[in-house]
Amino acid sequence: MVKGFSENEVKNDNQTKDLNKGKKGLASFLKGKKFTYTLPGKKQINIFGSIVLGLNIILILLVVLYQNNQEFHDFVFNVGR
């Protein structure tokens, strides 16, 4: 006997009948379409990486400004109300 399998057959005819029914909604719309995934190119990776790094640097600068400048701290506190 193979490990992980039982010798007794399990009958799940109800589940297979449900899967054979026609698809509805978005699944029926996309049924005939072919989608392929392509890996991003080097230029696209560099653009997204630059955007992420730039936004992280801006976030760090705003946190430092929030901690060290009382006027900016008050501005953020009042705008958040």
Residue 5 predicted with pLDDT over 80: no
Mind spelling out the 3-state secondary structure of the chain? CCCCCCCCCCCCHHHHHHHCCCCCCHHHHCCCCCCCCCCCCHHHHHHHHHHHHHHHHHHHHHHHHHHHCHHHHHHHHHHCC
What pLDDT does 17 receive? 55
pLDDT tier at 15, thresholds 50, 70, 90: low
| Domain spans of the chain, in order of start | 40-81
What pLDDT does 21 receive? 62
The 10s digit of each residue's pLDDT in 18-71 is: 555 666 777 777 777 777 778 889 999 999 999 999 999 999 999 999 999 999
pTM, entire model:
0.52
